[in-house]
């Protein structure tokens, strides 16, 4: 809560930190289906940017483009102020982009350390360097102030849903990441565990990372987000500071693409692929 | 230091816990459904007690103990290879005849072509590699279920074996180096040296691990737990070497038979190397990961197809090693080598030892423990009854019990949130 209260405003030119990720006029088609029609999207370090939109609005396509799973067809892709062309997931990881998918992708039969280092194990000689991995895993978890895990040597199978989400997020920040994308991190969690994960999301931003939070839960979004980007039918309806909108305005943006004078204008929203509307009011 | 590892209130971590606490932790895990090899060890003890009660004089003799090792060795080696495939949640039905085919290659090259024994051994192992490669390619690249591929290989290899062995049916093995593996024993002194290497080596490695963890500021295993394990290992190994060093010839004046069979150090080396491979290298970590969640492994950047391919190669190569043991024990290779119940006993051994058929759970040592259970049944039952029907039924029941324990422990684990 404190994070969004302190730095609620979208940075304006001049005092703003440079965005860690900046997309301009991004397009993506799958065959004849034009999914992203010129989307602009900015993520700032130390801030939580919520990405909202109804099913089919293009949220998944947008993050898969950033993650390198389906590279964008056209548009400007700036990462840390430099143009980047990300062609595959490994490339995205190397730049410092990590995605935590909804189904977490953890191996139940392995312990927390093994899962956090899966595919990128620390090796000394021919063997695994378990000591270093265990120490780094513990340090990362304590750096995120995680106190819910009693042992990093427990198998993931024995963890609760919130603890698993914690492990998946900790894995994402283990690699000097600069941008962490969380896909519906609270979708399957109870009240207390949702609270834990949201607190963790705030801590990620407090540690200086750029965080993208995809969620259908408007309350979660309003609780942690510094700014909200709303997609509507493949276009960016608006990216606005969370402090400047209410819950119902966000819902209106999601369902109709505009609210008051924020968002897409009626003729643009329904027009075929013409001009790209500018973000914000 | 982190609060994560050192928070002792909610759940005592095993590291740093005393002996009593470690035993309580272990019992907690067992109650939670993580049985490991406990049922197999318990089963082994029960079987030994039963056979001792029924036919103690013969069953407990040093001669029979050495015999038991010889009977179990092939099953154990085959089962070790199968652990790789079972860890992925796959199956290799052809491993028995892969052993037979490799043995046939050994017989042909060694006896009929008069190759030197080392070249013949290389050809035999290469046969295993090629068989595993073909199976692995079909499973990992074409995506054909391993059950079907290896069922086809089961039939095809049986035919290939007949063709390789050719008319005449049986190829004798006369090479001393090969025959020694299963038929010769180390000197009693060499047996005790082996004992010292195993127990001392384990102690040194454990202490090095302690120091490395201590240097990294991580909690270490309590000294009393280490000593208890060391004493247990020493007593079991020492008893085995002592018994095997007894004179077990029926007529010591004519020939003296004593000492640890050469196949024991062979199996120990395989256990150590393969355990290291599976538990201490990133390849091994990836095998468990693919068996646990193939999709998660793929997203983590692991080449799932390659891992599968290598596991099938490992399985068939270990089958070739088992084939060499068969040829050595029988002094010959025949079309029935590796056939009949061999494969089923080996799969049974792995599962009885605690390797899950669902993938992701199992260790190399499981194959040894499970192989000994199967071996004790095969060895002890004929002393009690000559009825071979009974032996099949008992082995079947034991396998069924093992599979039930596997399934029940999974359910138990799910109920307690450990699955």
Among B1, B3, B4, B6, most A C-beta atoms within 10 A, so best to mutate, is B4
Is the distance from CB of B220 to CB of B210 less than 8 angstroms?
yes
Cα–Cα dist A221/A50, whole Å: 6
Nearest C-alpha of chain B: how many angstroms from A12? Answer: 37
Q: CA separation (Å) from A102 to A136, A164, A234, B74?
A: 25, 11, 21, 46
Residues 196-255 of chain B with CB under 8 A from chain A are: 212-213, 215-218
CB contact under 8 A, B5 and A90: no
- Joined tokens for residue A8: 């609620």
- Residues sharing a CB contact under 8 Å with residue B343, sequence separation 6 or more, in sequence order: B78, B93, B94, B95, B96, B97, B154
pLDDT number for residue A7: 41
Cβ proximity of A214 and A200 under 8 Å: no
d(CA B138, CA B145): 9
Q: Is B204 exposed, middle or buried (0-12, 13-18, 19+ CB in 10 A)?
A: exposed
pLDDT digit string (tens) for B294-323? Answer: 888 888 888 899 999 999 999 999 999 999
Q: Of the candidates B215, B286, B361, which has its C-beta nearest A109's C-beta?
A: B361
Q: Quote the mean pLDDT of chain A.
A: 82
Per CB-CB distance under 8 Å, the chain B contacts of A126 are: 281
**Residue B358 touches chain A, beta carbons under 8 Å:** no
- The pLDDT tens digits for A84-135 are 888 888 888 888 898 888 777 889 889 899 999 988 888 888 888 888 888 8
A171 → chain B, closest CA residue? B300
Nearest to B357 by CA among B413, B415, B396, B407: B407
Q: Are A99 and A178 in contact (CB under 8 A)?
A: no
**Given this model, what pLDDT does residue A27 score?**
92
Between chains, do A127 and B300 touch, taking CB under 8 Å as contact? Answer: no
- Within 13 Å, how many C-alpha atoms sit on residue B164's CB side? 27
Task: Give the closest of B1, B285, B295 to A121, CB-based.
Answer: B285
Contact flag B4-A121 (C-beta cutoff 8 Å)? no
Q: Is A161's Cβ below 8 Å from some Cβ in B? A: no
Better pLDDT: A266 or B138: B138
Q: Note the pLDDT tens digit of each residue in B157-187.
A: 988 988 888 877 888 888 888 888 888 888 8
Does B234 score more than 80 pLDDT? yes
| Partner-chain contact B301 A119, CB within 8 Å | yes
* Band of residue A146 on the pLDDT scale cut at 50, 70, 90: confident
Q: Which residue of B has its CA nearest to A149?
A: B4
With an 8 Å Cβ cutoff, are A141 and B301 in contact? no
Q: Find chain A residues with C-beta within 8 A of B17's C-beta.
A: none
Shortest Cα–Cα distance, B14 to chain A (Å):
9
| Each residue's pLDDT tens digit, B122-133 | 999 999 999 999
Interface touch B302/A118, C-beta < 8 Å: yes
User: B220 pLDDT exceeds 80?
Assistant: no
**Strand partners of residue A232:** A235
The reported pTM is 0.83
From the list B322, B263, B318, B328, the residue with the least C-alpha distance to B100 is: B322
A158 touches chain B (CB under 8 A): yes
Contact A108 B217 (CB under 8 A): no
CB A258 within 8 A of CB A237: yes
- Tens of pLDDT, residues A160-189: 888 888 888 888 888 888 899 998 888 878
């Amino acid at each position: 809560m404190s994070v969004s209260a302190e730095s609620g405003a979208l940075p304006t030119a001049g005092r703003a930190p440079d965005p860690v990720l900046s997309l301009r006029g991004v397009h993506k088609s799958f065959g004849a289906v034009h999914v992203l029609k010129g989307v602009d999207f900015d993520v700032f370090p130390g801030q939580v940017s919520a990405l909202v939109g109804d099913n089919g609005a293009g949220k998944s396509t947008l993050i898969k483009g950033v993650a390198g799973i389906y590279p964008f067809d056209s548009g400007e892709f700036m990462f840390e102020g430099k143009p980047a062309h990300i062609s595959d997931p490994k490339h995205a990881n190397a730049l410092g982009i990590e995605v935590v998918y909804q189904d977490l992708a953890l191996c139940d039969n392995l312990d927390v350390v093994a899962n956090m280092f899966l595919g990128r194990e620390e090796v000394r000689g021919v063997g695994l360097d378990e000591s270093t991995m265990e120490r780094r895993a513990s340090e990362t978890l304590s750096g995120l102030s995680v106190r819910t895990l009693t042992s990093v040597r427990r198998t993931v199978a024995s963890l609760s849903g919130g603890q698993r989400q914690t492990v998946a997020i900790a894995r994402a920040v283990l690699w000097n990441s600069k941008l962490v994308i969380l896909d519906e991190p609270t979708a399957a969690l109870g009240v207390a565990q949702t609270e834990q994960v949201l607190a963790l999301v705030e801590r990620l931003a407090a540690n200086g990372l750029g965080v993208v939070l995809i969620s259908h839960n408007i309350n979660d979004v309003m609780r942690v987000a510094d700014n909200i980007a709303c997609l509507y039918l493949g276009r960016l309806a608006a990216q606005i500071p969370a402090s400047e909108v209410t819950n119902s305005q966000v819902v209106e943006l999601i369902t109709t693409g505009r609210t008051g004078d924020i968002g897409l204008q009626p003729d643009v929203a329904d027009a075929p692929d013409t001009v790209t509307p500018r973000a914000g009011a | 230091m982190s609060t994560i590892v050192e928070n002792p209130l909610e759940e005592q971590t095993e590291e740093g816990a005393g002996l009593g606490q470690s035993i309580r932790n272990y019992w907690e895990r067992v109650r939670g459904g993580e049985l490991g090899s406990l049922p197999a060890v318990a089963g082994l003890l029960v079987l030994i007690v039963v056979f001792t009660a029924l036919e103690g004089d013969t069953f407990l003799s040093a001669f029979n103990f050495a015999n038991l090792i010889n009977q179990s060795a092939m099953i154990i080696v085959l089962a070790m290879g199968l652990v790789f495939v079972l860890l992925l949640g796959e199956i290799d039905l052809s491993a028995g005849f892969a052993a037979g085919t490799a043995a046939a290659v050994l017989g042909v090259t060694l006896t009929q072509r008069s190759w030197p024994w080392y070249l013949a051994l290389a050809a035999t192992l290469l046969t295993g590699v090629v068989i595993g490669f073909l199976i692995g390619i079909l499973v990992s690249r074409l995506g054909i279920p391993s059950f079907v591929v290896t069922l086809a290989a089961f039939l095809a290899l049986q035919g290939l074996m007949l063709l390789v062995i050719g008319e005449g049916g049986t190829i004798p093995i006369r090479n001393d180096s090969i025959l020694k593996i299963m038929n010769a024993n180390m000197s009693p002194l060499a047996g005790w040296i082996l004992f010292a290497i195993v127990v001392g080596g384990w102690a040194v490695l454990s202490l090095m691990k302690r120091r490395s963890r201590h240097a990294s500021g991580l909690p270490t295993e309590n000294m009393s737990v280490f000593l208890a394990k060391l004493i247990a290992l020493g007593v079991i190994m020492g008893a085995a070497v002592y018994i095997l060093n007894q004179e077990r010839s029926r007529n010591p004046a004519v020939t003296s038979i004593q000492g640890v069979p050469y196949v024991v150090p062979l199996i120990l080396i395989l256990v150590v190397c393969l355990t290291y491979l599976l538990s201490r290298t990133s390849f091994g970590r990836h095998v468990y990961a693919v068996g646990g969640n193939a999709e998660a492994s793929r997203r983590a950047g692991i080449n799932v197809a390659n891992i599968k391919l290598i596991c099938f190669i490992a399985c068939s190569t270990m089958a070739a090693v088992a084939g060499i043991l068969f040829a050595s024990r029988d002094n010959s290779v025949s079309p029935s080598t590796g056939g009949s119940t061999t494969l089923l006993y080996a799969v049974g051994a792995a599962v009885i030892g605690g390797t899950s058929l669902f993938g992701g759970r199992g260790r190399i040592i499981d194959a040894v423990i499970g192989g000994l259970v199967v071996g004790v049944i095969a060895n002890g039952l004929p002393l009690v009854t000559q009825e071979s029907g009974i032996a099949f039924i008992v082995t079947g029941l034991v396998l069924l019990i093992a599979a039930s324990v596997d399934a029940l422990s999974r359910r138990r684990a799910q109920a307690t949130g450990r699955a």
